[in-house]
Structure 1
Amino acid sequence: MRRVVVLTTGGTIASRPDRRGASRAVDGAGTLLARLAGEPGVPVEGVDILRVGSYLLAPTDMAGIVTRAHEALADPEVLGVVVTHGTDALEETAFLADLVHDAPRPVVFTGAQRDASAVDTDGPRNLADAISVAAAPEAAGLGALVVFDGRIYPARGTRKTHTLAPAAFAAPDSGPVGLVRDGAVTLTARPVRLPVLPLAELDLDGVRVDIVPCYPGADTVALDAVTAAGAQGVVLEATGAGNANHAVCAAVARLTAAGVVVGLSTRVHAGPVAALYGNGGGVDLIEAGAVPLGSLRPAQARILLLALLARDRDPARATRDLPLLAGTSPG
């Protein structure tokens, strides 16, 4: 039977307040689907995977979700897959799915900002929209997508931009690729698809990549601590277009020489990393061995580096492939 598979993992869309007023994920797939305002227009199969807030997910959990989505797509009768997910870490799991997505049928991520007990909860509408996109022939070949508040975003470059508002997600450097309203899907752009990584090599167990912020007056204590704890990779959340200071540059040179992969991102909302400044800036960081990651922000840059290191734990290969998969190299 031609159908859409909905994989539920918890998050606000499945949450209700306890006696303290603290929300916890409690609703399963049956409850989420029963709360849809009307018939979705396509048969839907609900499958429970997890029931947690996404702030509790580890990378191995994210890989498990991605694997379950690919297992569902192995059935040719499945039109597409929807994953309901907490919004805190949705951008990471969606990007991980995109990195290994080699099927024409989409995996669509969605969630909610208002819990299931709210009279104006946005969960049922977001879920209905995501089902419509997953079933739409127009979505073929788009990879992993994020559907939220009536907009369709590519997984790559999409991130949570508001803590509470229903329009919680944006893709600042590219914008949405379409809209969905009352079951009607309209595409306005198609995301650029980059080479995919083999799902079979996505073994994240034991792979550690940390994000280290750079800020005025930052020293190397955090950088040294995460590598001493076993990080095989580090993403620098630099200032501006990708700048730090002399101490951080020296540490990057030392760590990359020792086989630690260092990716260079930024804390700025939009725009690419660019090698503009010396004297401890981006030019010096890149000369020290940091790899500029274009418009990828730290959360997704970390996922990319985790996936590259997971293949064979080869830092030289990961460093070589980072620009291609970050979208900063033509190949």
Structure 2
Amino acid sequence: MTKPSFLPPTVLVISLGGTITMTPTTAEGAAQPTLSAEELLAAVPQLADTGIVVKTQSFTTKPGASLTFDEIEELAGQLRAMDGQSTFDGFVVAQGTDTLEETSYLLSLLYAGQTPLIITGAMRAPYLAGADGPANLLASVTVAANPRARGLGVLVVFNDQIFDAAKVRKTHSTSTNAFTAPDTGPLGTVAEGRLRLLAIPAHKPLPLSTVMTRPARVGVYPASLGDDGTLLAPLLEQVDGMVIAAFGVGHVPATWVPILQEAAQRIPIVLASRTGGGTTLTHTYGFDGSEKDLLDRGLIGAGHLDPYKARHLLTVLLRSGAHRDTILATFAPAGTTAEGRG
């Protein structure tokens, strides 16, 4: 259905909770998520000057750390059902920043609609000086309503910057400039109330199955100096898949090699870098525990995907019933550059 051009754009703002919704609820002034989506929008009177019609929905009220995979899957289902209708020109999801880099990527795997989907939040609660939630909401609604955002996949808008959900990282615990994209930088900015798009995401959303009927437990295990793998071995017996957050370009202690080789015969094990930027390699180093050694022993390279995003991709694949060949084929383009090189 096509919306008549003479009608103003309409954006749906969905609240999941998080700092952007928090107010002090204890005698000590500690904050908890309490505000509804409608109350969030009441703090942004400038929206009235944009000509955008804004609707609201309070999906849940939780801190970001307590959001679940099933809740994000349910939200994605609702968004898919609304995509393509003439009701909304864009969606904005406001949530806690603790898991925003993860939920935005997870949504990009589960929602491949043309209607823009923008994820945002706040680093400072509404009652604090310099609260950033209203500005982030205003910028997010502006981007969501812009036709140039259609078909770009899930975007994160924060501090007037626009990021690809597959690249964005939270890199500071308190700063209002907490979100960056170490490998690519922002795709654009919001200035003078307008979207200034400088680039587009290298990859379109992956056409993954949204029918997830199987349970799957996927872990992330970081490499650290002096870890001999004793703790890793029993953990591998309890999961359906594992992401190894390796040193550098994909290296682990040599003592891990037999443990990982044995486990890789039973479950998919993805090799990612713990560094937060750059890519895993494939054949530069050849010592025991190097990236080439581990890939030769059955591990799957994550490429540019960080360990947390790799975990969500593997989880979606396993819950959809994907076999090893499908997992390998999916991680290949997901972790490479636009030119297709790892």
Bin the TM-score by the shorter chain. over 0.9
Which secondary structure does the structure 1 equivalent of 2:98 belong to? coil
1:254-298 Cα distance to aligned partner (Å, 9 max, x none): 01112x111111111311111332132222111121111111111
**Length, aligned pairs only:** 328
> Is the deviation greater in 46-55 or in 316-325?
316-325
SS in 2 for 1:200: coil
Match of 1:262 in 2: 269
1:79 alignment counterpart: 89
Secondary structure at the counterpart of residue 130 of structure 2? coil
Match of 2:99 among 80, 89, 97: 89
- Which one-letter code corresponds to 1:305 in the other structure? L
For residues 322 and 171 of structure 2, the distance between their equivalents in structure 1, rounded to whole angstroms, comes to 33
Q: 2:245 aligns with which of 226, 233, 237?
A: 237
Q: Is the 8 A contact 1:234 1:263 kept in 2?
A: yes
The answer to whether the 8 Å contact 2:153/2:204 transfers is no
Aligned to 1:55: 65
Q: Distance in 1 between matches of 2:235 and 2:193?
A: 47
The answer to whether residue 279 in structure 2 is matched with residue 272 in structure 1 is yes
Does the 8 A contact of 1:194 with 1:325 survive in 2?
Answer: no
Quick check: 232-241 or 277-286, which moved more? 277-286
Deviation digits for residues 120-159 of structure 1 (CA, Å, limit 9, x no counterpart): 1000000010000000011112100000000000101111
Cα RMSD (Å): 1.9
- Distance verdict in 2 for CA 1:59–1:221, change over 3 Å: farther
Which runs of structure 2 are paired with 1:215-230 in the superposition (5 Å)? 215-229=224-238
Map 1:1-331 to 2 at 5 A.
2-19=9-26, 20-38=28-46, 39=48, 40-194=50-204, 196-198=206-208, 200-203=210-213, 206-229=215-238, 231-258=239-266, 260-275=267-282, 276-277=284-285, 278-327=287-336, 330=340
Q: Identity across aligned pairs (percent)?
A: 30
The 8 Å contact of residues 101 and 196 in structure 1, kept in 2 or not, is answered as: no
The separation in 2 between residues aligned to 1:88 and 1:213, in whole angstroms, is: 19
Structure 1: any 5+ residue segments left out of the alignment? none
Report the AA paired with residue 11 of structure 1.
G
CA-CA distance at 1:301 after TM superposition: 0.9
Q: Secondary structure at the match of 2:225?
A: coil
Query: In structure 2, what is the Cα distance between the partners aligned to 1:84 and 1:153?
Result: 15
Letter in 2 for 1:138: R
Q: 1:216 to 1:154 in 2, by over 3 A?
A: same
Using structure 1 for the length normalisation, give the TM-score: 0.93
Shift in Å at residue 211 of structure 1? 0.2
Q: Is the 8 A contact 2:209 2:320 kept in 1?
A: no
Q: Secondary structure at the match of 2:219?
A: strand
Paired residue secondary structure (2:260): helix
Return the TM-score normalized by structure 2. Answer: 0.90
What 5-or-longer segments of structure 2 have no aligned partner? 1-6
CA 1:202 to 1:90, structure 2 compared with 1: closer, same or farther past 3 Å?
farther
1:90 alignment partner, SS class = helix
Contact 1:63 1:202 in 2 (8 A): no
Cα-to-partner distance string for 1:298-331 (whole Å, 9 max, x where unaligned): 1111111111112115344323422133336949
Shift of 1:180: 0.6
Residue 3 of structure 2: aligned partner: none
Confirm or deny: 8 A CA contact 2:18 2:33 kept in the other structure: yes
The farther-off stretch of 91-100 and 4-13 is 91-100
Q: Is contact 1:66-1:96 (8 Å) kept?
A: no
SS in 2 for 1:211: strand
CA drift of 1:199 comes to 5.2
